[in-house]
Structure 1
Amino acid sequence: MLFNSFIFLFGFLPAALLIHWLVERFKPEWRLPVLLGLSLLFYGYWDWRFAPLLVLSVLVNWLVAESFTKTGRDVLIPLAITANLVVLAFFKYFNFFADFATIVPGVPTIHFDIALPLGISFFTFHHIMYLTDLKAGKAPRYDLVRYGLYIGFFPQVLAGPLVRWSEIMHQFDERPYERPDAAERFARGLMLLVAGLAKKVFLGDQLADYTNPIYAMAQQGHALDMGQALQGALGFTFQVYFDFSGYTDMALGMALMFGIVLPQNFDVPYRATSLQDFWRRWHMTLSRFLRDYLYIALGGSRKGLVVQLAALTATMTLGGLWHGAGWTFVVWGALHGVGLSVAVLWRKAGYSMPSFLGWLLTFTFFVLTLTIFRSGSFEVAGNFYAGLFGFGAEGFTLKWRALAIGAAVAMIGPTAWTFIHKLPPKPWIAALFALLFVVVLFKIGDDANYEFVYFQF
């Protein structure tokens, strides 16, 4: 069930909200088990074969946490984290590493046709966050239902945001519909759902129509003129933002309707004036995870400049690999690690930069590196760069209207979360959002219904 599908919007979501309300009203002690059951039903709808994997993952990690709590054996947590990473590596990276191993003479090529379970990258990181904090004495023990809901809560299980246990566990014990602001929170959650859906359908999907044909041309080996290359590069830059931030808005809105506040994931990233500022605004929960559970573990800034730069580069390279099993993702992450390292050296040298120039360099760097991310191969990326720098086909063919609209919305802001929470509770505003929802539904019915970009990672 895609969040932007009729079966979800008119089937699963209304039924889940009704069941949740009835249980919360008449049998509040059943609320969490019912939410967990609904989440497993949602996950299993994609492919029932992977539901047992999610259940087994939750059960095994919970049992490890129970054993650690009772025995205090430190070795249990590293073993569990390693096992989680091995499972992730098997499903997501087996063929990638098998291809890499063939550079050794005599090693045969082994490939498996392995389907990638949706959300495995995200729920693996949730396990790691909890287990790491449990070992550090920061996280308490939780029962199986609460832990399972932390891992599998359906608005965020497929593509985040990455939620720390400390941000969500205490909310499971609340009575969300008994709050004095319950109706307002539900309404703002519904508005956020509509806003995210509109971003996806009217901006992300329209920009996909600008972007996909250009990348298809490049993949077929056709030379691109400068306008086409610019259209593809800028088109995907704005497409991936509206697609992923739209998904996040929908996830946050749905969670709010069920009485759960999830962390925000985007803060107008295309207004960033430095690369460090950008990663504080883009996919914020992943950036935070990489900083707290990888960069700091590798030494961070505590062990001297050389270690700091190496940790930055390694962290971002692994972050790139997390996005996908391909060298283009690795190079994309490594380039951002190098870029962040250069920024550290720049700051330590005492240099400054005008805000506009910092914004221009940051945005240009992201667009150019994102081309590698999207291309899938270095040949396609090279085709794009040839066009962008004037070495491709002659001419200048550019569709600019959707790009201009996307740029204005993405850069002027504010975020959907901020905008909706500042709106006064007026009937005419509710009517406008209802009308917007109807228009979006007509658009979904008329056009191709694109899958969310980050479901691929």
Structure 2
Amino acid sequence: MSSFLQSLPNWQPYGTPHYFSILLLALLPIVIALFLGKRLPIYEELVSIGFISLMFGGTHYKQFFALLGYLIWQSLVVFAYQGYRKKYDHHLVFYLSVLLAALPLIIVKLAPTIFGSNSLLGFLGISYLTFKTVAMVMEMRDGELTEVTLWPFIRFMIFLPTISSGPIDRYRRFQQDYLKVPSRDDYLSMLEKAVWYIMLGALYKFIISHMLVTYVIPPIKLAALADGGLINWHTILYMYAWGFDLFFDFAGYSMFAVGISYVMGIKTPINFNKPFLARDLKDFWNRWHMSLSFWFRDFVFMRLVYTMMKRKVFKNRNTTSSVAYLLNMTLMGFWHGIHWYYIVYGIFHGVGLIINDWWIRKKKTINKKRKQAGQQPLADNKWTHGIGIFITFHVVMLSLLIFSGFLDTLWFHNFIRQPK
């Protein structure tokens, strides 16, 4: 098995037009079957397994075995908790189950810092699969998920379009889509959207992102490092170039994933919705990496607020929400990696959301007083909306500069000789 995997090419998902041509050819029988109102479950899984094997082929073959071990581990955790939850509901067992579901990801994230090398448990996509299983355990605790069987669980986990980098789907939503084969008209509409998503993704990833990362960013980065100091104008240029590249690269990938999902008859949620037009940070997180943002909102933030209010940790509800914002975003920062710039990025957005929330409350209070005094409320028009977009855009770009890790290189690891 190992020698076979090593003999395979290593194809990164949606990495080249050649990958797409082979993938779409493999999906053709699925398209024909869905057009005729049927699914080909065995063939679909064979396609997923085949392309996953190519994703972990060549020098990445160990990741294939890591994925197999991971699926076995998560199956044991999820189904053990499901069996337990049918009769009992102790909070310690729930917390332990969540910890066990997240344990492989925790080990993978901590290994480079503790041991100085990557864990053998790691594979491309482990973060997004972990979000799926942790969510399932939490929904089982809530009583929203009661009857999960092994094959649908595996199908959900290894769904090809989203396995490597999302978007993060929910089991119930995915299962409803899978069990309800779209009508011919609905499927034709899905194919039309799929073509649009794939073409737009190609523009974003293969053209705009490629131009930025190949021709724009490298000279700016070198110039910024040569300038040195805490900050310089080339670093500002790098901030915008890298921020746009991150968006176009990841949004392009997400559009590919959603488009291929639609081809397979599954309406995977979109991941980006014009985030640079957000008028404040709350609006931004409702538009940026939406599946991740909504996951943290539903399974971390809301539960933190509920728990702290139930136990009356703080008397003031606004204090409760502020602490929840900070913990939620800091945890998101830690999820990206155990580096100071990821953690600061999370704290940055946590504080930003606290300020955002404070201003919304303050504005309501001011407008209430103005109304009592017979005055017009504070202006809320296209101009104030535009100012909000302008401020939010630059705040987000600053946060992405922190996230990029470039400041770490500029300040602490800058080996480029500065001009005298």
| Superposed pair shares fold, TM > 0.5 | yes
Partner of 1:271: 277
Matched, 1:365 2:395: yes
Please, which of 80, 88, 91 is the counterpart of residue 105 of structure 2? 88
- After superposition, the Cα gap between the structure-2 partners of 1:179 and 1:28, relative to the gap in structure 1 and judged at 3 Å, is closer
Q: Indicate how the Cα distance of structure 1 residues 382 and 237 shifts in structure 2: closer, same or farther if over 3 A, else same.
A: farther
Q: Given the alignment of the two structures, is residue 188 of structure 1 paired with residue 193 of structure 2, yes or no?
A: yes
Q: Aligned pair 1:4/2:34, yes or no?
A: no
Match of 1:179 in 2: 184
**1:107-159 C-alpha deviation (Å, 9 max, x unpaired):** xxx42343641111111001111111012100132222211121221111111
Query: 5+ unaligned residues in a row in structure 2: which ranges?
Result: 1-10, 367-377
> 1:164 maps to which residue?
170
The CA deviation string for residues 362-392 of structure 1, in whole angstroms up to 9 with x for no partner, is 11111112111113553526999xxxxxxx9
1:180 is matched by which residue type in structure 2? D
Q: Which residue identity does 1:111 align to in structure 2?
A: G
The letter of the residue matching 1:181 is D
Match for residue 297 of structure 1 among 303, 312, 334? 303
Instruction: Report the CA distance shift for 1:362/1:232 in structure 2 as closer, same or farther (over 3 A).
Output: same
Task: Give 1:257's aligned residue.
Answer: 263
Deviation at 1:220, TM superposition (A): 6.3
**Structure 1 residues 170-249: aligned runs within 5 Å:** 170-176=176-182, 179-208=184-213, 209-219=215-225, 222=228, 227-249=233-255
1:320-335 aligned at under 5 Å gives the runs 320-335=333-348
| Distance in 2 between residues matched to 1:64 and 1:90, nearest whole Å | 16
**Mapped contact 1:58–1:147 kept (Cα < 8 A):** no
Q: What is the aligned partner in structure 2 of residue 18 from structure 1?
A: 28
Aligned 1:20-39 pairs, distance under 5 A: 20-21=30-31, 31-39=40-48
Q: Could you say which residue in structure 2 is the equivalent of 1:142?
A: 148
The Cα RMSD (Å) is 3.0
**Alignment partners' CA distance in 2, 1:382 and 1:60:** 40
Q: CA deviation at 1:163?
A: 0.9
What is the rounded CA distance, in whole Å, between the counterparts of 2:402 and 2:249 in structure 1? Answer: 18
Q: Say if 2:228 and 2:410, in contact at 8 Å, map to a contact too.
A: no
Q: Whole-Å Cα distance in 1 between the matches of residues 248 and 184 of structure 2? A: 32
**Residue 174 of structure 1, CA deviation:** 2.8
State the AA in 2 paired with 1:8: Y
Q: Partners of 2:193 and 2:163 in 1: how far apart?
A: 22
CA contact (8 A) 1:36 1:145 kept: no
Of 50, 75, 79, which aligns to 1:62?
Answer: 75
Which of 408, 414, 418 is the aligned partner of 1:378? Answer: 408
Distance 1:381 1:184, change over 3 A: farther
Q: 2:95 aligns with which of 72, 78, 95?
A: 78
Kindly indicate whether the alpha-carbon contact (under 8 Å) linking 2:251 and 2:271 is maintained by their aligned counterparts in 1: yes
Q: TM-score, normalised by structure 1?
A: 0.73
Taking only the aligned residue pairs, the percentage that are identical comes to 24
- Output one character per residue of 1:31-88: Cα deviation in whole Å (capped at 9) or x when no partner: 2333233223322323232223333333333344333343434455433321232211
Q: Would you say how many aligned residue pairs link Structure 1 and Structure 2? A: 372
Aligned CA distance change for structure 1 residues 249 and 123 (closer, same or farther; 3 Å): same
Displacement of 1:186 in angstroms is 1.9
Q: What's the CA shift string for 1:194-245, capped at 9, x where partnerless?
A: 2211211121121223123323444567469955233211111211111111
C-alpha distance in 1 between matches for 2:419 and 2:299:
46
Which one of the candidate residues 123, 129, 132 is aligned to 1:126? 132
Q: Distance in 2 between matches of 1:23 and 1:142?
A: 26
Please report the TM-score for the alignment, with normalisation by the length of structure 2: 0.79
Cα distance between partner residues in 1 of 2:319 and 2:83: 40
- Counterpart of 1:151 (choices 153, 157, 161) is 157
- The answer on whether the counterparts of 1:272 and 1:281 sit within 8 Å (CA) in structure 2 is yes
Give the AA of the match of 2:204: K
Q: Is the contact made by 2:205 and 2:249 (CA closer than 8 Å) also made in structure 1?
A: yes
Deviation (angstroms), 1:184:
3.5
**Aligned partners of 2:230 and 2:411 also within 8 Å:** no
Correspondence list, 1:299-314, <5 A: 299=305, 302=309, 304-314=317-327
Amino acid at match of 1:169: Q
